[in-house]
Amino acid sequence: MSSNNEQSITLPTGKTIKVNTGLFINNEFVDSIDGKRFETINPATEKVITTVAEALSNDVDKAIDIATETYVKVWSKVSGYDRGRLINKLADLMERDIDELAAIESLDNGKPFLLTKAVDIQLSIKTYRYYAGFADKINGELFQTESDKFDFTQREPYGVIGAIIPWNFPIMMQATKLAPILACGNTIVLKTSEFTPLSALKVAALIKEAGFPKGVVNILSGYGPTAGAAMASHMKLRKITFTGSVPVGKSILKASAESNLKKVTLELGGKSPNIIFADSDIDEAVKWAHMGIYFSSGQVCVAGSRIYVQDSVYDEFLEKFKKRAEGTKVGDPFKEDTFQGPQVSQIHYNKIMSFIEAGKKEGATLLIGGEREGEKGYYIKPTIFTDTNEKMSIMQEEIFGPVAAISKFSTVEEVIEKAHLTRYGLAAAVFTKDITRALKISKELNAGTVWVNCYGLYEPNVPFGGYRESGIGREGGESSLNEYTQVKSVQVHLGKFMF
Ligand code: NAI
Ligand code: MG
């Protein structure tokens, strides 16, 4: 291994990419203190891509100490304008290296290369630019007072913020956390998912190249129960932000309560209903619903996994949806026309397959799919269940795979009641040409996002987060500024003591 833990990775295209595989601490790629490393797998081939340094709690301590010191001595003195310039510079470099970034993401996660480039990375760049613009516009308020008072608030950074991200949209999740956290003036220790450590290491090199002072951004590869848990219970972190599963989200909240009551932002899972009324444009609804559940192999927190179709168009919708699902191009992420790549890991493949088995046992009808695609790689055929009910695990649990459950409904009241029969509330969609109905239902649905006549659209400037057990807090738009700053009220008395 050469210096900086640099390793050469050969893509299926024959091109070679260099990635520094150390822990990114203080703008250097270093070995972990105990020298541990772990393998990351290409889910399309089931082969090891490379190994990366593995952070344990002592590395977490080290990164948090450096990020804390950097905040106090360096980053807190950098102006919003300069923070914004650095974030924009990072966005420029990501644009320059977009092909490499998309390739490494695709290799490590199994996402189709072209979609990753067009969707994930473009949206990430947009996110960095959006928050770069905010860096010098994070203001407090001035309040109306008695004539001898002067009261105002200022928004202050927390100092160092811990962020833990999942594997399903690695670059995008980095952007969602890094961009606002840095714009707000915090330093950061970010832990990536053990399944997809590579793209963040590529971004780390760009962070260094962009000129961020050392210690502002620290990126650790590592596992949840070790490095992640060490962050969640760390006494020096005053804020943690997490995206991932509900059980882990709860464990982070618990760790916060049992340590120092650090503030917690949670973006968790969902079991989102997609409601299709008879008066909608069925062909359009089929396309959106297909994307809603099969995009990124169904490994999407907002996946439209429960599709409710009004009875009079149920047969027509089902026939068209089935045809489109069967026509989904599943396969090699580097092939141009691939829409659906493999699932991220063997563990996750097994988990999805066990849900499919449960669905069959519970009495749902497996219309198509439900089995492996091909011989190698963790591919699962687009799957449709019908004859489902809300008691079934496939209607309750976040499967996080290419598994759609399609049900029939007749009235608005009925479908809203069914839509609410889970513990989640991340997203929902409604398809109808009736604007009054669309707005009424949007109002009634317990969901952090409601799409009307579309599915899964995401904009960096629009708040995003969950009702119920789908999370705490809102990211996106100006909401992230609330999550990553704390408000200080200052009350000034201008006159003499009043009594
Ligand atoms: P996860 O929630 O276990 O992992 C997400 C992140 O949390 C990773 O960085 C992981 O290392 C970390 N983590 C795990 N255990 C931790 C702990 N005890 N303390 C601190 N950090 C910890 O998700 P996983 O295992 O990768 O996937 C399991 C299921 O979670 C999926 O099948 C899916 O249903 C759901 N999920 C939901 C996501 C979403 O965006 N809503 C994203 C990823 C997974
Ligand atoms: Mg991998």
Query: 223 C-alpha vs ligand 1 centroid, how far in Å?
Result: 10
Question: In b/e form, how buried is each residue of 324-337, taking b as 16+ CB within 10 angstroms?
Answer: bbeebebbbbbeee
Cβ–ligand 1 contact at 245 (below 6 Å):
yes
Of the pLDDT bands very low, low, confident and very high (cuts 50, 70, 90), residue 369 is very high
Cβ within 8 Å of residue 23, ≥6 positions away? 29, 30, 31, 32, 53, 55, 59, 63, 218, 219, 220, 221
403 pLDDT above the threshold of 60 = yes
Q: Give the residue, by CA position, lying nearest to ligand 1 atom 16.
A: 224
Q: Write the pLDDT tens digit of every residue in 82-95.
A: 999 999 999 999 99
Q: Write the pLDDT tens digit of every residue in 313-363.
A: 999 999 999 999 999 999 999 999 999 999 999 999 999 999 999 999 999
Find the mean pLDDT for residues 118-124: 98
Token pair recorded at residue 49? 């891509």
Cβ proximity of 124 and 165 under 8 Å? no
Q: Tell me what pLDDT residue 498 has.
A: 83
Q: Give the residue, by CA position, lying nearest to ligand 1 atom 7.
A: 224
Q: Write the pLDDT tens digit of every residue in 182-212.
A: 999 999 999 999 999 999 999 999 999 999 9
CA distances from 14 to 17, 102, 312, 484 (A): 10, 15, 52, 42
Taking the CA of 191 as reference, the closest ligand is: 1
CA distances from 86 to 77, 129, 309, 382 (A): 14, 10, 48, 42
Q: Give the residue, by CA position, lying nearest to ligand 1 atom 28.
A: 245
The radius of gyration computed from the CA coordinates of the chain, to the nearest angstrom, equals 24
Q: What percent of the chain has pLDDT over 70?
A: 99
Ligand 1 mutation target, pool 109, 172, 220, 248, most atoms within 8 A of CB: 248
311 pLDDT above the threshold of 50 = yes
DSSP per-residue letters across 346-405: HHHHHHHHHHHHHHHHTT-EEEE--SB-SSSSS-B--EEEES--TTSHHHHS---SSEEE
3 pLDDT above the threshold of 70 = no
Cβ proximity of 185 and 80 under 8 Å? yes
Compute the distance between CA of residue 290 and CA of residue 274 in angstroms, rounded to an integer. Answer: 11
Cβ–ligand 1 contact at 164 (below 6 Å):
yes
Q: Which domains does the chain have, with CATH numbers?
A: 6-268+472-487 (3.40.605.10), 273-459 (3.40.309.10)
Please give the positions annotated as active site: 267
Cβ–ligand 1 contact at 247 (below 6 Å):
no
Cβ–ligand 1 contact at 351 (below 6 Å):
yes
Provide the mean pLDDT of the chain.
97
Query: 282 C-alpha vs ligand 1 centroid, how far in Å?
Result: 35
389 pLDDT above the threshold of 80 = yes
Closest by CA to 451, choosing from 321, 290, 272, is 272
CA end-to-end distance (rounded Å), the chain: 74
Read off the pTM. Answer: 0.98
Look-up: residue for tokens 């408000």? Answer: 487
